[in-house]
Structure 1
């Protein structure tokens, strides 16, 4: 069961997406992309990343991830996983985001993720009731 996040309309404080140690390891991935989405696997539910969106992102960054069933097969929101690209590795940040997220049906909204200036990548994956997986990577740039 996913714990409820902040109430709608409530002042939402920002939160650090990266630990202090990860902040020290952070190097801009140098994608040069303002915002792009790449689908690596598309067998499961459909993923729409509504935020982060825009041409000039500033920290803190909001996340709005919407998932819809494919072929009428139910989405399993408990399998939602969000990884952050840190150098050559991917770090699981799902729990960090979930502590500040509101989930309504198959939609996750989290506001106020503090990120350093530079290029970033998040990988989102989710399964459906038939264990089919969809995985998408969103790249974006933060200009503080």
Structure 2
């Protein structure tokens, strides 16, 4: 009887320790998505790009209704953002396709700095989307481009623009 109680308590402790570890992973340690230096480099190029580039416009809606759908849930631009932020993006493939996670690309700024590996290391990524907690970014304007493909080789991309405010 005594050994059964010990085994029971040992199982309870294992379950509780597993829950605490998973909650730490879910919340995530703060991580720097883009360094101050990378941000400053984008600022310098942004002005130069405006002088040299003809702006391309992107359709608000995909011209191909079978393309994957990318929905930006967070960050939203309806209120001021302060670092660290939460990034939540949903993917939806057409009925006869599946999102190909390996095709995910996350690009930052005017120079399209590839930050996909940083997201992969720190975020939860699934066929249904991305959730990244405690994302640290420098104060200022930011734009991130999300690109994804589905099993039918249809692709989609979406830009998100937002400003991180100084919280001091």
State TM-score, norm by structure 2: 0.67
For the residue of structure 2 that corresponds to 1:25, the secondary structure is helix
Specify whether residues 17 and 104 from structure 1 end up closer, same or farther in structure 2 by C-alpha distance, changes over 3 A only. Answer: same
- In the alignment, does 2:96 pair up with 1:72? yes
Q: How does 1:125-136 map to 2 (within 5 A)?
A: 125-136=147-158
More helix by share: 2
Provide the rounded CA distance (Å) in 2 between the counterparts of 1:76 and 1:9: 27
Provide the rounded CA distance (Å) in 2 between the counterparts of 1:127 and 1:45: 7
- In the alignment, does 2:39 pair up with 1:9? no
For the residue of structure 2 that corresponds to 1:125, the secondary structure is strand
Specify whether residues 123 and 42 from structure 1 end up closer, same or farther in structure 2 by C-alpha distance, changes over 3 A only. Answer: farther
Q: Mind listing any 5+ residue stretches in structure 2 that lack a counterpart?
A: 1-20, 48-57
Q: Deviations over 1:97-133 (max 9, x none)?
A: 1111112442211111111111110000100111111
Higher relative contact order (CA 8 A, sep 6+): 1
| CA drift at 1:20 | 5.4
Q: Deviations over 1:51-81 (max 9, x none)?
A: 1124110001111111011243111111111
- In the alignment, does 2:130 pair up with 1:116? no
Specify whether residues 106 and 58 from structure 1 end up closer, same or farther in structure 2 by C-alpha distance, changes over 3 A only. Answer: same
CA contact (8 A) 2:36 2:138 kept: no
Which residue of structure 1 lines up, in the alignment, with residue 71 of structure 2?
48
C-alpha root-mean-square deviation of aligned residues, in Å? 2.6
Larger radius of gyration: 2
Which residue of structure 1 lines up, in the alignment, with residue 83 of structure 2?
59
State TM-score, norm by structure 1: 0.77
| CA drift at 1:21 | 3.6
CA contact (8 A) 2:98 2:127 kept: no
Q: Mind listing any 5+ residue stretches in structure 1 that lack a counterpart?
A: 1-6, 31-36
For the residue of structure 1 that corresponds to 2:82, the secondary structure is coil
CA contact (8 A) 2:33 2:115 kept: yes
